[in-house]
Amino acid sequence: MASFSVSTIHSASDIPAAVWSAFRENAQASNVMYAHADKAAKYPTLGGNADLWMVVWDLTKPSETSSAVLFVLSCTAGPLGPYPIFIFTPLPSTLLVDNFVRPRLLAMVRALRAAVSPERVFSVFAVDALTDAFAASWTAETGIKLDSNPLYYHASLMCCDRTTLRPPPPPPQGGGTIALRIAAEADVRKVAVLCQDFSATSEPFVLSCEKAVREAELLVQKRQLWVYEIQCPGREPEIACIVAVTRTTATVAGITKVFTDSRWRSRGCAERLTWHVCQYLLETKDTVVLYVGHNNPAAKVYRRVGFVGFASEHDGKPNSWKELGFDSSKIELGHW
């Protein structure tokens, strides 16, 4: 008899209490999925009929407890299109060994294959072991191989709270008057340029001019974007840097975009704005999280702000996250 089972959930309002408990107990690691599910439960039309979640259950544990939740997969959509497949686990890295992960992920893949068309799955993002297992099983079940350059993103999760937030960075020396503030409607045109430039660093998720404007409009309307504005004498104000915060739950806020205009780099703009945003968020949230690429020098900036690694070697939590993309000729690309 199998020691696990897979359930498919088509509405956030039907997500079992045990899964919500697992999200809350692991609010940092689950943020990429939990935030959307939380919004979808509050606003049922958010994802339309496109959203679904899958849960792998440990049948040896009481089903009503979070300890029974092994893996949760989301297949959801945002305002600019479908999201990647996200997979969350509350398990420590010691349990994420191949002979444990693969049969459970294979069962999840088969359930997903029965629920969506193969072209819907354009990429998968999770901790390394789960991404690799999902990709291998998806290819085996659908025949769709990984893209020619499949590693879209490889990152660590970093966290900042009131105890780690460092003193504010020093103010700039000269260069005009600065304002660190929530973006306003009048900023959309300038912000859209930075959104598009940011997307150009995140292939294949490059935005057209039209979609960049749409993203900027949404971020401003939802008050999810902060700007670093510089006013030099005799010139129109410029937006040097942006920080977006689009994934929030009761206790955790997720920074999802930090980008500085090339003309204003190496001046501390990103550090000052990120610190300002964290200080603001930590008035109501316990933690601010963000992902940073393994080879991204911006990690130094975040450490100066007060971000630390999500997990240490002692607590057993995995902290290497990978996104792999599938054959671009066989899928329909989304965005996140």
Q: Tell me the C-alpha distance between 68 and 84, whole Å.
A: 25
324 close to 152: Cβ distance less than 8 angstroms:
yes
- Which residues have CB under 8 Å from 289's CB, separation 6+? 28, 31, 157, 158, 159, 160, 252, 253, 254, 255, 310
Same domain, 322 and 289: no
Is residue 171 in some structural domain?
no
Q: Tell me the C-alpha distance between 101 and 95, whole Å.
A: 8
User: Residue 310: how many CB atoms within 10 A of its CB?
Assistant: 19
Mean pLDDT for 62-86 is 96
Same domain, 264 and 245: yes
Q: What is the CATH number of the domain that holds 84?
A: 3.40.630
CA 318 vs CA 31, 92, 273: distances in Å: 15, 7, 29
pLDDT of res. 112: 98
Q: Tell me the C-alpha distance between 325 and 48, whole Å.
A: 25
Whether 312 shows a pLDDT value over 70: the answer reads no
Whether 313 shows a pLDDT value over 60: the answer reads no
Is residue 17 in some structural domain?
yes
Same domain, 217 and 239: yes
Whether 50 shows a pLDDT value over 90: the answer reads no
Same domain, 125 and 224: no
Is residue 142 in some structural domain?
yes
Four-residue CA torsion sign, 248, 253, 259, 264: positive
Angle (CA) 125 254 318, round 5°: 45
Same domain, 44 and 69: yes
pLDDT of res. 67: 96
Same domain, 223 and 129: no
Q: What is the CATH number of the domain that holds 240?
A: 3.40.630.30
Q: Tell me the C-alpha distance between 214 and 88, whole Å.
A: 29
CA atoms within 13 A on the CB side of 67: 3
Q: Tell me the C-alpha distance between 305 and 243, whole Å.
A: 14
Is residue 129 in some structural domain?
yes
Whether 46 shows a pLDDT value over 80: the answer reads no
Same domain, 187 and 145: no
Domain span at residue 133 reads 4-156+317-326
Closest of 245, 233, 244 to residue 194, by C-alpha:
244
Same domain, 98 and 192: no
Closest of 223, 218, 211, 216 to residue 248, by C-alpha:
223
Is residue 167 in some structural domain?
no
Closest of 56, 57, 23, 55 to residue 37, by C-alpha:
23
Instruction: Give the β-pairing of 85-88 and 308-309.
Output: unpaired
- Banded pLDDT at 1 (limits 50, 70, 90): low
To the nearest whole percent, how much of the chain has pLDDT over 90? 91
Q: Average per-residue pLDDT in the chain?
A: 95
Phi, psi of 299 (to 5 degrees): -55, -35
Same domain, 136 and 195: no
Angle (CA) 71 26 309, round 5°: 110
Whether 157 shows a pLDDT value over 70: the answer reads yes
Buried b (16+ CB within 10 A) or exposed e, 48-62: eeebbbbbbbbeeee
Domain count, the chain: 2
87 close to 73: Cβ distance less than 8 angstroms:
yes
pLDDT of res. 314: 52
Same domain, 252 and 132: no
Mean pLDDT for 69-85 is 96
Is residue 163 in some structural domain?
no
Is residue 331 in some structural domain?
no
- pLDDT, tens digit, 9 for 90 and up, residues 254-300: 999 999 999 999 999 999 999 999 999 999 999 999 999 999 999 99
